[in-house]
Amino acid sequence: MAQENRWRFLGWVCLAVVLSLSSWFSATAIAPEMSAALAFPQGSSAWLTNGVQIGFVTGALLSSLVNLPDIVRMNRLAAASAALAGLANAALLLEPGFAGAIVCRFLTGFALAGVYPPAMKLAATWFQQGRGLALGFVIAALTAGSSLPHLFRGLTSGLNWQLVVLFSSLSACVATAIFLFRIEEGPYPFARAIFDPRQIGQIIRNRDLMLVNAGYLGHMWELYALWAWLLAFLKAAPAGFSTGPAGAGSLATFAALSVGVIGCIAGGLLSDRFGRARTTAGFMLASGACALLVGFLFNGPFWLLMIVVLIWGITVIGDSAQFSAAATEVSERHLVGTALSFQMGIGFALTVVSIWLMPKLASLLGSWQWCFAFLAPGPFLGAWAMLKIKPRG
């Protein structure tokens, strides 16, 4: 019975994740228009994204600290969290001012911490075999959901920015119903895994686990900065959409982010065949190369710029799920909960820095042309760290 139902339940989980995660970058996709309309201070765009990042870290660590998924059934936790994310996102329609908008963004991220990790676990409870591929599909759903606001903006270009907020909030409400009425836990539940700060010392002394975390930090240094600022880069590039039709840049950004679905699935398949260290290193070397190349293509040709951007969209996310999987493999079993929480906490905290840095560099350099080159050291160093991990027999 589980074999018959598992793909159906995985499909529902992935759909719910896509719809829920549309609220993550809802403000990012409309940041220039919203900031201008509401007279936000200069530099506000970065914090419209960073508010979500900080909220997510806070929510994830608090949830793990009290082991909330053991207290509340995971589908109900995800449903309540999706509803809260939708409401916090919709509060932007009240035009609460800059401080209020950041609070809304923080609460959205806080709520999404109750969607994404439980959804990963829900999917895994249906798969004893093929669990890595199943989790790859969930990461693909996260990628597609993160790109959705750019599609909303591309389709509503020239109309009020509030429509993007409205559509993403309604999407989260639909996700709430899916989590409640279409999803349940499978026959292969996880063992209890909690975050215990007292175990961090043991984690730090685990050489291979710290190398995995170094790889993850290199990956995260690049990932969310690209997702947050690709639209700004493409709109500024003479070879991009600086003079193109309204909405074209948003649709191109949607394509570049959503094509990462291919990378997530490929990453799961490749890691099973070649190992997680080699797979993650290969993806990071490719994405780091793209970070360097896009600056040289800022002025064209357009077709080559878009090829590199699309390849970057595939490679920047394709290795994401494998860092968590690698951490569970090199960590001692009683430390897995703390190891995963620690990894996610430091990784998302680092994204706050890289997201904040990109527009500062653009202002300092007078252009977006070379800003992404500063992301390249992250994946290159991350690849080096993953290749230093001892082979496991």
Show the DSSP H helices in the chain as ranges: 2-21, 31-37, 44-65, 68-71, 74-90, 97-112, 116-124, 131-155, 162-181, 200-204, 207-236, 248-258, 260-274, 276-296, 302-315, 320-330, 336-365, 377-387
Structural domain including 254 reads 200-393
Structure tokens, 300:
């064209």
Q: Same domain, yes or no, for 225 and 86? A: no
Lookup result for tokens 């939708």: 86
Q: Tell me, what's the pLDDT at 82? A: 97
Same domain, 234 and 89: no
Q: Do 178 and 206 belong to one domain?
A: no
Residue 191: predicted pLDDT = 63
Rounded to whole angstroms, how far apart are CA atoms 155 and 245?
12
Q: Which of 174, 192, 210 is the last residue of a domain?
A: 192
Asked if 375 and 272 sit in the same domain, the reply is: yes
- If asked whether residues 142 and 276 sit together in one domain, one would say no
Q: Residue 65 has what pLDDT?
A: 79
Residues 102 and 238 occupy one common structural domain: no
Last residue of a domain, one of 192, 217, 236: 192
> Do 208 and 339 have their domain in common?
yes
Q: What is the pLDDT of residue 393?
A: 44
Same-domain pairing of 205 and 310: yes
**In the chain, what percentage of residues exceed pLDDT 70?**
95
Widest distance between CA atoms in the chain: 60
237 and 155 within one domain: no
pLDDT per position as a tens digit, 352-361:
999 999 999 9
How far, in Å, CA of 363 to CA of 384, rounded? 31
Low-confidence ranges of the chain (pLDDT < 50): 1, 393
pLDDT in tens, 90-146: 999 999 999 999 999 999 999 999 998 888 888 888 887 777 778 889 999 999 999
**For residue 93, how many other CB atoms are within 10 A of its CB?**
12
Q: Are residues 381 and 258 in the same domain?
A: yes
CB 343 within 8 A of CB 216: yes
d(C-alpha 279, C-alpha 270), whole Å: 6
**In angstroms, rounded to a whole number, what is the distance separating the alpha carbons of residues 219 and 377?**
10
CATH number at residue 338: 1.20.1250.20
For 103, phi and psi rounded to 5 degrees? -60, -45
The per-residue pLDDT for 51 is 95
Gap between the Cα atoms of 336 and 328, Å rounded: 6
Residues 6+ apart with CB under 8 A from 389: 208, 211, 212, 277, 326, 330
C-alpha closest to that of 257 among 123, 158, 169, 152: 152
- Domain total for the chain? 2
Q: 192, 223, 256: which is the final residue of a domain?
A: 192
Q: Is 78 left (phi over 0), alpha (psi -120 to 50) or beta?
A: alpha
Cβ atoms of residues 280 and 383 within 8 Å: yes
Cα 285 from chain centroid? 19
- Looking at the whole model, is its pTM more than 0.85? yes
In this structure, the answer to whether residues 143 and 230 fall within a common structural domain is no
Q: Do 136 and 100 reside in the same domain of the chain?
A: yes
